[in-house]
Structure formats: structure tokens, C-alpha cells
Amino acid sequence: MKYLLPLLLLAAPAWAGDAARGRRIVEDRALSACLLCHAGPFLAPHLQGNIGPPLNGIGARLGPDELRLRLTEPARFNPDTPMPAYGHVDGLHRVGPAWRGRPILTPAQIEDVVAFLSTLRTP
Amino acid sequence: MKIWASLAAAVLALSAAISPAAEPRRSGYDDSSRETQAMQDDDAGNPAFLWVRQGEALWDQDCKGCHGAAGTLRGVAARYPLFDPRANRLLTLEQRIVQCRTDRMGAPAFAWDDERLLALSALVGLQSRGLPLNAEPREPFLSQGEALFRERIGQLNLSCAQCHEERAGLRLSGATIPQGHATGYPAYRLEWQGMGSLYRRLRNCLNGVRAEVFAPDSPEAAALALYLAVRAKGMRVETPAVRP
């Protein structure tokens, strides 16, 4: 037990995401903002955006590591991407006081979103 | 023969590919539904005229003594924001109206969202309806405004330009992103069920990207309004517009 905990913390990621929680996070636009830009098999289709590609079937196209990287380092794939880098606060300007110093999603929430996106397999 | 035909076709295709570069600017009106446009086109059906009527009453009571009939203000709103050498600052039309109240009438200032301020600015704006926007591109304010327009801001790390220049016409959530030309303010917005100034519109966009909201009488607000006005130079004043 004494040795198990540090071992668990070393494994990346340290916690497994929960797909049901991930769905709620993606559908909560005031939290994640995903649906401002993306559409997909989610609540309220008329309130979904088309700034990014639709997320239908994304779990069949990208594995969990690739999905995580698209969320946390979107600029790696397109330096001019409008998509925010989830999990980061560095390099942000004029953030409103209610959000200052906090990333949009915590690392645990990002894992939940990755777990949920992985379940989207129907194109 | 065949060569000439395909050459002509190639030239045609080429010129078609080149000409959209001079893409015309679109106001929020052009991107609105037929119903919203019809509401704006008909003064009797445009809810903003409730504010215009209130503005006429206020004008007669408080402003007419110095300015005469409201109709003498044709062209004024189209020149704002403008630099006031006496106050040594850039003023939006709303700020000018508040300045008139405090400095010349000795009355307390209006709050930025006071219905009376909306009423008076709608009345003054209406006097310029149909005229081309014509603000002076005054430095350093213009460059300050443009820098704000292009800076990535807020927790979502987006700039005004990323939405209004690069992604106009796409859908953000349920809304079509307009080019962001401030041609019709103050405007009646269906989502607000009420009238709002350009400042209120900017607050919405700033909140949308989770950015700091600058104060209504801040240099930022005036500089950004000037940049928008110069960016829309030559487009027609639509005040009071109706927006989704």
C-alpha cells in the first residue's frame, strides 16, 4: 500500500475519466464552451456551432492520447487555431476576475471529456 | 478553337477567383432574418421607436433650449466617436450627451444603461439614419482600438478579429457571427427584449470570451468604438437597428 500510491501518481493519467461526467461537461457550455464551436450528438442541436469540425465519430478517428493532446495543445495542429488550450492559464490576457488564474477545465475534467469523446464512434 | 475556348474558360475562372477579394462589408442587417429586417424597416413596428418617442419628449424638455429642433442634428451621430479638445479626450455620443447634462445643465450624470440616455442617443442617431459613417481616424485612439480588436483575450483566448474578421458567417452556438459593424446603435435586440448601447453589445462579447469588461467611460471603450466606426466608414447609419 505504501508503495502503491506513488506508483499510481506516476502513471499518466493518474485517474481514469468518467464518460458520463464527460458528457455533462461537454454539454455545459457555460463550463466547457465546446458547443459554442462544435456540433455533434449532443443536447440542443440548434445551439451548436460550426467553427470547429463536428465531433461525431471522433472516438473512432482519434485515440485517447491524441484526443487529450487536441484539448490541451490545439496549437500544435494549427498555430492559428481559435480553440483554447484546455488546462492552461499561461499566456492569457485580460481574463475576467471570475475566471482569472483558473484553467477552463481541470485535469480531471479533461480526462472525463477524453473518456466521453472516446465513446463517440458513429460517424 | 478548342484551345481558345478552354483558355477563355480559364481566364473567366481566374477572374472569378480573384474578384471576391474585394468582398463587400455586410452589416448585421444583411445577416439578419427577413422578419428581423422587416421589423427594422417599419418605423411603426420597430420597438426601438418607443425609445425615440421618449427621446423626443426629453429633448423638448432639456435640450431644445440650446440646440433647437432635433432635426438640426442631422449628420452629428455619424461623426462619433470624436475628439473633444476642451476635455482632451475621445467621446462617444453617449459620453457627449452625459457631458452636456453635467457640464451645461448641471444635472447628475446618467448611468450608462439609463433608459433616458438610450432614448436621447436613439433620437440623435436617428437624425443621421442613411448617412455614411464618417468618424475621424484620429490617432493615437484609432491604433489603440485596433490593437484591442486584434488582441487575444479572456479565458477563451479569442480576439474580436478572430470572430468578426476570420469567422463571420459561421455559427457560434446558435448565432451567426456578424462582421461586427456598429452601424445601428443604440439598437433594439430581441434577445435583450430591450434597447442597448454599443457598449452593452461589447460587454456581451467580452463576457462571452470570459474577459475583463472595461468601464463604460474608459479609454478602451471609446478607442474600440472609434476603431469600429472607422472600420465601417462609409456604411450607412441604421440607428435604431433591430438585432437578434
Q: Which domains does chain A have, with CATH numbers?
A: 18-119 (1.10.760.10)
Out of A50, A82, A95, name the one closest to residue B154 (CB).
Answer: A95
- pLDDT band of residue A9 (cuts 50, 70, 90) is very low
Residues 6+ apart with CB under 8 A from B102: B108, B109
B102, part of any domain: yes
B243, part of any domain: yes
B223 vs B92: CA distance, rounded Å: 9
B17, part of any domain: no
**Cβ separation A99–B151 shorter than 8 A:** no
* B63: annotated active-site residue: no
- Assess whether the previous peptide bond of B186 is cis (omega < 30° from 0): yes
End-to-end C-alpha distance for chain A, whole angstroms: 44
B220 vs B181: CA distance, rounded Å: 17
B150, part of any domain: yes
B85 vs B72: CA distance, rounded Å: 23
**Cβ separation B172–A102 shorter than 8 A:** no
pLDDT value at residue B105: 87
Q: Considering only CB atoms, which chain B residues are within 8 Å of A46?
A: 174
pTM of the model: 0.89
B5, part of any domain: no
Tell me if chain B has a CB within 8 Å of the CB of A47.
yes
The string of pLDDT tens digits covering residues A74-107 is 999 999 999 999 999 999 999 999 999 999 999 9
> Active-site residue among B100, B160, B163, B205?
B205
Ranking B21-30, B119-128, B140-149 by mean pLDDT, the lowest is: B21-30
pLDDT of B227 higher than 80: yes
Closest of B198, B210, B201 to residue B158, by C-alpha: B210
CATH of the domain at B48: 1.10.760.10
Out of A35, A50, A94, name the one closest to residue B154 (CB).
Answer: A94
B166 is in which domain, residue-wise? 26-244
- The domain tally of chain B equals 1
B18, part of any domain: no
**Cβ separation B155–A104 shorter than 8 A:** yes
Tell me if chain B has a CB within 8 Å of the CB of A26.
no
